[in-house]
A and B are shown apart, each in its own frame.
Chain A
Amino acid sequence: QKEVEQDPGPLSVPEGAIVSLNCTYSNSAFQYFMWYRQYSRKGPELLMYTYSSGNKEDGRFTAQVDKSSKYISLFIRDSQPSDSATYLCATPNTGFQKLVFGTGTRLLVSP
């Protein structure tokens, strides 16, 4: 079983839709969770960073962590064509900053 699993997509939605992107993880010791956005031919850009369970909101983006089910989500409200990118979830793997990444979900928002 992979430490972090993510559906590769692509996920296609119309402009203005609410998008839900999800990851599951296997190690209950994971405490910090990140979402990165990666445009084609670019490096990942940190979007959201959360600790433990609960929600964190930043503009149109909400990150949610459910530690009981080892499930993390990123919600995008009022999605825009500029949100079209690959979204990667990541978590540090105990002890030091060895980030474990999901494979990424490709999102396509059509005008």
Chain B
Amino acid sequence: GESVGLHLPTLSVQEGDNSIINCAYSNSASDYFIWYKQESGKGPQFIIDIRSNMDKRQGQRVTVLLNKTVKHLSLQIAATQPGDSAVYFCADNQAGTALIFGKGTTLSVSS
């Protein structure tokens, strides 16, 4: 069945380092992916999205890479800050209505 998952449940980095969070998906027909950030006690917050006709998309301090050959995407956060500490989810919107979320990666940034 369709699933979206992340490789690592936790990631610990030092302030100023670059962070890379990975995600694998199983549905070859998936064509739209979104990264969300969820802080404690809050709902998921949109970070960046990418469509399947792109390999890379950049935002402010964040970059998403999509490798359709191996069905993998990653979120890169440059110069990670303590405020980046949160749970990060990749989500697949291929179904058109539902967002299919993975389990999430908890990013901890120490100063």
Tell me whether A and B are bound partners. Answer: no
Instruction: Point out residues on A near B: beta carbons under 8 Å.
Output: none
Instruction: Point out residues on B near A: beta carbons under 8 Å.
Output: none
